[in-house]
């Protein structure tokens, strides 16, 4: 247990009483992937781990390439088209869809609207990001259509397979806070188990050093053990991979109330409508809040 970041362990606890219900196996966060060759070509310095939204926007514009007719041939950034990926943009501005207890909607906070406007600006004002669409953006990154995208460690095997070698990662840019999101998986023994002693031995095997090394070798997620996720071999690619486990102490868990699917659907539906200019900002916030209030009132009874 001493080899696991306590903040990750907290992600395995019941929020109301702190009881630990699962033993962690693997986790993922969100960082910014960037094509170092494109940075070099544009004469842009690689991102620092304390870069700001304003710096990110400048870099994104600098990396966007247009032809003689002004048409974009390469975008600077792909705005994440999935809940887990876009959430850090809100966390770095001290806001989110729900409060930290996962009970009350917080989309009427000024910081929430500010975050929406920032992402909207990348797509519709700067035209440094393509139209919002579902997906991670790793395919466009590998094909050279975008210079940066946001994802967790699960994309690394695909990047390696695409033969890209000059790739780095950076922390999400900050506006008010240095933050990212995390999701974590774990194992437990249920009360209904007929053989709890055997189940416990099985859990120890699947959370032990041999299994953790297998996770590290696969590259599909971040091992829960610090030693497996900070070895020289594991951090060798992409450049600056130390930040994956380095974010474990401050990463914020993805809001996961009992009605997670409903909350995610409401958020993503209105986010897509706003970012693709099918709905204005006030309507987006008002409608999102109205639907979330109704959804959470059912859960909080």
Q: What is the pLDDT of residues 34-73, one digit of tens each?
A: 999 999 999 999 999 899 999 999 999 999 999 999 999 9
pLDDT on residue 268:
98
Calculate the alpha carbon distances from 117 to 179, 229, 285, 286, 297 in Å: 19, 36, 11, 15, 28
Q: Which domains, and CATH codes, for the chain?
A: 1-181+192-259 (3.40.190.10)
Q: Is the pLDDT of residue 178 over 80?
A: yes
In order of 30, 170, 297, the CA distances from 156 in angstroms are: 12, 14, 40
pLDDT band at 15 (very low <50, low <70, confident <90, very high): confident
Residue 45 is predicted with a pLDDT of: 98
Residue 199: helix, strand or coil by DSSP? helix
Q: Which class for 219: exposed (0-12), middle (13-18), buried (19 or more C-beta within 10 A)?
A: middle
Look at the alpha carbons of 42, 43, 49, 50 in this order and tell me if their dihedral is positive or negative.
Answer: negative
Q: How far apart are CA 46 and CA 36, in angstroms?
A: 7
| Cα–Cα dist 239/165, whole Å | 9
Residue 1 has pLDDT above 90, yes or no: no
**Residue 66 Cα distances to 52, 72, 76, angstroms:** 25, 4, 11
C-alpha to C-alpha distance for 88 and 92, rounded to whole angstroms: 6
Q: Which of 137, 20, 82 minimizes the C-alpha distance to 265? A: 82
Residues 215 and 223 sit within 8 Å (Cβ to Cβ)? yes
Name the packing angle between helices 260-275 and 281-299 (round to 10°). 180
Rounded Cα distance between 144 and 286, Å, is 38
Q: Of 14 and 158, which is predicted with more confidence?
A: 158
State residue 157's pLDDT score.
97
Q: What is the largest CA-CA distance in the chain?
A: 71
- The per-residue pLDDT for 16 is 79
Mean pLDDT of 272-290: 98
- Nearest CA-CA partner of 272 in 156, 135, 145: 135
| Average model confidence (pLDDT) across the chain | 96
- Token pair listed for 151: 């994802």
Q: If you average pLDDT over residues 229-253, what whole number do you get?
A: 97
This prediction's pTM: 0.97
**pLDDT over 90 (residue 206):** no
């Amino acid at each position: 247990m001493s080899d696991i970041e306590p903040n990750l362990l907290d992600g395995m606890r019941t929020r109301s009483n702190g009881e630990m219900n699962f033993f962690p196996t693997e986790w993922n966060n969100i960082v910014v992937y960037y094509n170092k060759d494109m940075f070099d070509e544009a004469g842009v310095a690689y991102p620092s781990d304390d870069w700001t939204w304003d710096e990110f926007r400048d870099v994104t514009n600098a990396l966007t390439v247009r032809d003689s007719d002004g048409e974009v041939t390469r975008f600077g950034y792909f705005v994440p088209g999935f809940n887990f990926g876009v959430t850090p943009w809100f966390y770095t501005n001290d806001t989110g869809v729900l409060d930290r207890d996962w009970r009350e909607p917080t989309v009427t906070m000024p910081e929430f609207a500010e975050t929406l406007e920032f992402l909207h600006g990348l797509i519709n004002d700067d035209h440094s990001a393509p139209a919002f669409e579902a997906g991670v953006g790793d395919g466009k990154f590998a094909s050279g259509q975008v210079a940066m995208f946001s994802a967790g460690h699960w994309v690394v095997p695909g990047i390696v397979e695409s033969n890209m070698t000059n790739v780095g990662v950076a922390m999400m840019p900050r506006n008010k806070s240095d933050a990212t999101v995390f999701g974590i998986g774990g194992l437990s023994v249920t009360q209904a188990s007929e053989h709890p002693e055997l189940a416990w031995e099985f859990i120890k095997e699947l959370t032990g050093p041999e299994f953790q090394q297998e996770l590290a070798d696969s590259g599909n997620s971040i091992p829960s053990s610090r030693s497996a996720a900070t070895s020289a071999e594991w951090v060798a690619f992409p450049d600056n991979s130390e930040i994956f486990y380095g974010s474990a102490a401050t990463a914020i868990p993805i809001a996961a109330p009992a009605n997670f699917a409903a909350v995610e659907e409401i958020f993503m539906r209105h986010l897509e409508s706003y970012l693709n200019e099918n709905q204005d900002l006030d309507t987006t916030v008002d409608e999102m809040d109205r639907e979330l209030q109704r959804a959470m009132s059912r859960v909080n009874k």
